[in-house]
Amino acid sequence: MRFGPIVREDREGREIILRSAEEEDAAELIRYLKTIAEESRFLTNEPEEVNLTEEAERAFLASKRDAERELMLIARDRETGRHIGNCSFLSVGGKKRVLHRCGVGIALYREFCGRGIGRIMLETVLGAAKEAGYEQAELEVVTENNRAVRLYETLGFKICGTLPRNMKYADGTYADVYWMAKEL
């Protein structure tokens, strides 16, 4: 799905450009995936598992751009042009009984957290998902990620269950995950 560009202002008064990811973003997005995997234990990938080729990422981005009901949104700082993060929605499946549901994902570079950018991105993606015909948005979040859980709840997501020991880290510890959903 093609989206934007649109400009929004974060809590610090800085302008953020939101637009759909394009194939030329591929190399930058691979670097981003590696960095955020190192920065956060709340994501599913270990840093060494991010081994996409630029060609594969380009194909993935083209498929999202051409999809009628999926969006890969990127945010950039308007002044510096720096990539801030991504937010997306994807269908949970192709069967008629689940066509009303989409999965939502979001991640930002750590340095951009706390400026309201995640909220701006999620509100944008949830609006686009509703316009695409989805009736319910769903996500998973590590139970210890309190800031994210609070954000999702303020946007209307409800905790629908807990998936115990959903992730196992390299050090042998586990993380539980909340499954959250919101009616659009």
On whether residue 169 sits in a domain, the answer given is no
Is residue 167 included in any domain, yes or no? no
Sign of CA dihedral 127, 3, 72, 148: negative
Contact yes or no for 122/151 (Cβ under 8 A): yes
Percent with pLDDT over 90 in the chain: 94
pLDDT, average across residues 158-165: 98
- Residue 166 dihedral angles phi and psi, to the nearest 5°: -65, -35
Q: How high is the mean pLDDT of the chain?
A: 95
The total number of structural domains that make up the chain: 1
Task: Kindly state whether residue 161 falls inside one of the protein's structural domains.
Answer: no
Tens-place pLDDT, residues 45-96: 888 888 999 999 999 999 999 999 999 999 999 999 999 999 999 999 999 9
Nearest to 140 by CA among 172, 113, 166: 166
What CATH number has the domain bearing residue 133? Answer: 3.40.630.30
Residue 176 neighbours by CB under 8 Å, 6+ apart: 142, 143, 162, 163, 164, 165, 166
Which residue range forms the structural domain that includes residue 53? 6-139
Q: Burial of 41 by CB count in 10 Å (0-12 exposed, 13-18 middle, 19+ buried)? A: middle
Quick one: what percent of the chain has pLDDT higher than 70?
Answer: 100
What is the per-residue pLDDT for 11? 95
Residue 163 lies in a domain: no
pLDDT of residue 124: 98
Residue 44: inside a domain = yes
Residue 140 bridge partners (DSSP): 179
